[in-house]
Amino acid sequence: MLKPGLIYKSLNPWALKNKNKALLPVYWMSNKKAWITKTLKLDWFVNCFIPPVKLFLAENGLPFKVLLLMDSAGGHATDLHYDGIQVEFLPPNTTSIIQPMDQGGIRPT
């Protein structure tokens, strides 16, 4: 299981003062507006996606052949390249149709 990426407004929030963010169950990233950017997505891809996937496949004796499906959000880097990884983007405006959680799984009560 991969660590989810978490984007927060501050790199070092007061609540986490003197805490090692590397030990958190999330991959900590920061942006003033707390939005995903191409730089943050590339950072997540290189530091949080590739290493654990490589390790998992190696431990299970599988070749390094990966398909990464992503939605077509504007902040996602479209030039993600790595040998053995094929990145495919979902067509625009189909996320709510394809992703089960967008079909009412997360609905306000």
Q: Where in the chain are the domains?
A: 5-102
Q: What was the pLDDT predicted at 86? A: 94
Local structure of 67: helix, strand or coil: strand
Written as six digits, the tokens of 11 are: 């790199």
7-24 pLDDT per residue, tens: 889 888 888 888 888 888
- Between the alpha carbon of residue 41 and those of residues 7, 18, 49, 57, the distances in Å are 10, 26, 10, 22
Work out whether the CA dihedral 95, 98, 101, 104 comes out positive or negative.
positive
The reported pLDDT for the residue numbered 106 is: 55
Task: State the pLDDT at residue 107.
Answer: 56
| pLDDT in the model for residue 79 | 82
In whole angstroms, how far apart are CA 26 and each of 20, 30, 81?
12, 12, 23
Six-digit token string for 44: 């997540």
- Residues 32-72: tens digit of each pLDDT: 888 888 888 888 899 889 999 999 999 999 999 999 988 77
Higher pLDDT, 94 or 84: 84
Distance, CA of 37 to chain centre: 11
Which residue blocks in the chain are alpha helix, DSSP H? 38-44, 50-59, 95-98
The model's pTM is 0.74
Give the span between the Cα atoms of 57 and 34, in whole angstroms: 32
Q: Are 89 and 108 in contact (CB under 8 A)?
A: no
